[in-house]
Structure 1
Amino acid sequence: MMFRDPISLLKFEHSVIRVRSGIILRTLECEEGWKLFEELHSFVVGWHARVEDLYVFPLLGEESKPFSNDHMLISKYGDAVLKERRRDWAERYIKILLDHNLNEELKLFKAKEVDPSVMEKIISNMTKYGPYENFTGIRLEDIRGVS
């Protein structure tokens, strides 16, 4: 599996987020579900949204601004969910997150191309984000296209 451009990588990450969200919704009744929720929120805020904000959205122009604003709200809301551990809030967070990602794909990523050279910057940053491989199931070598 190789990702040659940032949009393909971000869409793949959206898929991982969707799958993990489904698992979380089925396991919030136990401690493991909350651990998975925390991992999801950490990935979204610490990696995924950050990459979009730093590397991709600046290349997509003003129409990406509302999506960047969403990231701030998702971050704050997720922190509150973890603090309060309310299932209804967690369910709402996941709905907001999945709707946000779908809207990115339909409205922002659909007809846009991002300079593939941005991938090198993303990959360089990825080496500093330790949980990436465990969260997504893909290795840095897979993204670079190196065996």
Structure 2
Amino acid sequence: MISKTDAETFFKTYEKVYRDAIAGNVNLNDVAGNYSTGFVSVTPAGVMVGENGQQLKDIMKKGFEAYRAMGSKKMTCKEVSVTPIDQDHCVAKVQWSGEYERKDKSPVTIDFEVDYLLERRDGSLKVFGWIAGDEQAEFKKHGLA
């Protein structure tokens, strides 16, 4: 089984990679290293499937650039809970806290959660999917988009 401790360790590493990326120090190989060979993304905008490779790296690079442009400063993993699926798969519910700076320089913190589908592959945890709320609506609500 994937333990809570294993998932917390994984998401602390994920958090560091994310923080580096929004600081402009993105290592796309590190970003891609968190994901399985294929994945599914479920958001209010729809369901998307993809493969880990150059296309994922390009999408992630553009995403981090967009986050920086709208004022993203820091992302913190606050809490992780784990629901096992089987020996090598689980759902990890992650509580995130994002710190942003609006155009007028005022700070805002947005707390949100994402459900990640994790698998243990070759001894390492990898994301093979995620289910997230409407981040664009939250950004608009808080004057960021």
Which structure has the highest helix share of the two? Answer: 1
Which structure has the highest strand share of the two? Answer: 2
**Bigger relative CO (Cα 8 Å, ≥ 6 apart):** 1
Could you say whether these structures have the same fold, taking a TM-score greater than 0.5 normalized by the shorter chain as the test? no
TM (normalized to structure 2)?
0.29
